[in-house]
A = this chain, B = another copy of it.
Amino acid sequence: MMFGRITGTVVASRKDEKLDGLKLLLVQQVDAYGKITNNYVVAADSVGAGKGEVVLFATGSSARQTTKTEGRPVDAVIMAIVDTWEINGEVMYDKYTADAGMK
């Protein structure tokens, strides 16, 4: 899994019926040090993530293991909203103190 920040929404009215009801979000990858990168992926949302929130996303067949995405043609899913993570005891990201650029 990788970290990402919810950056935008994707609207697609003509689509495979198996995508009906799924919310598609644009996720900007965040590296392990909490720095935003320039890599993006479109992912289905399974947790009600909001704009600016930092999340975990999974790719490949694992993206179809949430209740909302089972059997659907999606290869990336947002399945958790991150509270915090640390590296060697140093907090790299905390949702309550992250600056506006991150939140």
| CB proximity to B under 8 Å, residues A1-37 | 1-3, 7-19, 24, 26, 28, 31-32
Q: Within 8 Å CB of A87, what residues of B?
A: 7-8, 26, 28
B24 touches A32 (CB 8 A): no
Total count of chain A residues near the partner, CB < 8 A:
59
Q: How many copies does the complex hold?
A: 5
Report Cα–Cα, A10/B58, bound state, in Å: 14
| CB proximity to B under 8 Å, residues A46-103 | 46-47, 51, 56, 58-69, 71-77, 79-88, 92
Report Cα–Cα, A51/B90, bound state, in Å: 13
A83 touches B12 (CB 8 A): yes
Contact of A85 among B10, B41, B71 (CB under 8 A): B10
Pull 14 A–B residue pairs with CB atoms less than 8 Å apart, ordered by A.
Answer: A1-B76, A7-B32, A8-B86, A8-B87, A8-B92, A12-B83, A15-B79, A15-B80, A16-B80, A17-B67, A58-B75, A62-B74, A65-B71, A65-B72
